[in-house]
Structure 1
Amino acid sequence: MDVTNELDVVVIGAGISGIYAAKFYLDMHPGCRLAILDRDNCVGGTWNSRRGYDSFWTQWTVGTAEFSDLPMPRPPEDDVYYEFFKAKHTTKYLESYVDHHSYGGQTLRDRIRFSTEVQSLVKPDGRWIVLTKDRVTGAELVFRTPKLMVASGLTSIANMPPLPGREDFRGQILHHEDFGSSNVLSTPKIQNIVVLGGGKSSADMVYEAVKAGKTVSWVLKATDTTGPGFFLSPKGKGPYKNAFEIGMTRLAGTFNPSFMNGINWWTRLLHCSKYGVRMMGTFWGAVDTATRRDANFERESLQGFEKLNPHSP
Structure 2
Amino acid sequence: MKITSTGRTSPLADVDVLIIGAGISGIGAASHLRALHPFMSLAILEARDSVGGTWDLFTYPGIRSDSDMPTFGFGFKPWTHRKSIADGHIILDYLRQTVAENGLAEHIRFGYRVLSAEFSSAQGRWTVTARHSHTGETAEFTARFLFLGTGMYDHDAGFTPEFTGVEEFEGQVAHPQYWPENLDYTGKRVVVIGSGATAVTLIPSMAGTAGHVTMLQRSPGYIFSSPAEDAIANTLRKLLGHKRAHKVVRRKNILLTRGVHKASLRAPKLMRRLLIANVR
Same fold flag (TM > 0.5): yes
| Equivalent of 2:255 in 238, 249, 258 | 249
Q: Look up the match of 1:228.
A: 221
Please give the alpha-carbon distance, in whole angstroms, between the structure 1 residues aligned to 2:87 and 2:42: 32
Cα deviation, residue 66, structure 1:
4.0
| TM-score, structure 2 as length reference | 0.71
Q: Look up the match of 2:24.
A: 16
Query: Which residue identity lines up with residue 113 of structure 1 in the other structure?
Result: R
Residues 13-162 of structure 1: pairs in structure 2 closer than 5 A: 13-48=21-56, 50-53=57-60, 55-61=62-68, 63-75=70-82, 80=83, 83-102=84-103, 108-125=104-121, 126-157=124-155, 158-162=158-162
Q: Which runs of 5+ in 1 are unaligned?
A: 103-107, 258-269, 272-276, 297-313
SS at match of 1:123: strand
Q: Which runs of 5+ in 2 are unaligned?
A: 234-249
Please give the alpha-carbon distance, in whole angstroms, between the structure 1 residues aligned to 2:168 and 2:149: 38
Q: Deviations over 1:47-88 (max 9, x none)?
A: 22x41455223233354354344433323xxxx3xx433232
| Equivalent of 2:270 in 267, 286, 292 | 286
Q: Deviations over 1:259-290 (max 9, x none)?
A: xxxxxxxxxxx99xxxxx8xx22xx3233213
Query: Cα RMSD over matched residues?
Result: 3.6
Please give the alpha-carbon distance, in whole angstroms, between the structure 2 residues aligned to 1:148 and 1:20: 15
In 2, are the aligned partners of 1:65 and 1:90 still within 8 Å (CA)? no
In 2, are the aligned partners of 1:130 and 1:144 still within 8 Å (CA)? yes
In 1, are the aligned partners of 2:60 and 2:202 still within 8 Å (CA)? no
Please give the alpha-carbon distance, in whole angstroms, between the structure 2 residues aligned to 1:138 and 1:124: 26
SS at match of 1:201: helix
SS at match of 2:81: coil
Cα deviation, residue 115, structure 1:
3.2
Please give the alpha-carbon distance, in whole angstroms, between the structure 1 residues aligned to 2:191 and 2:134: 30
In 1, are the aligned partners of 2:71 and 2:254 still within 8 Å (CA)? no
SS at match of 2:90: helix
Please give the alpha-carbon distance, in whole angstroms, between the structure 2 residues aligned to 1:52 and 1:213: 18
SS at match of 2:67: strand
Count of aligned positions = 250
In 2, are the aligned partners of 1:176 and 1:202 still within 8 Å (CA)? no
| TM-score, structure 1 as length reference | 0.65
Q: Deviations over 1:1-41 (max 9, x none)?
A: 45332321210121222112112222344354421122333
In 2, are the aligned partners of 1:62 and 1:85 still within 8 Å (CA)? yes
SS at match of 1:73: coil
Cα deviation, residue 240, structure 1:
7.3
Identity %: 23
1:294 and 1:286, CA in 2 relative to 1: closer, same or farther beyond 3 A?
same
Q: Look up the match of 2:239.
A: none
Q: Look up the match of 1:300.
A: none
| Equivalent of 1:203 in 200, 205, 209 | 200
In 1, are the aligned partners of 2:60 and 2:177 still within 8 Å (CA)? no
Greater RCO (CA < 8 Å, at least 6 residues apart): 2
Please give the alpha-carbon distance, in whole angstroms, between the structure 1 residues aligned to 2:161 and 2:32: 38
1:40 and 1:211, CA in 2 relative to 1: closer, same or farther beyond 3 A?
farther
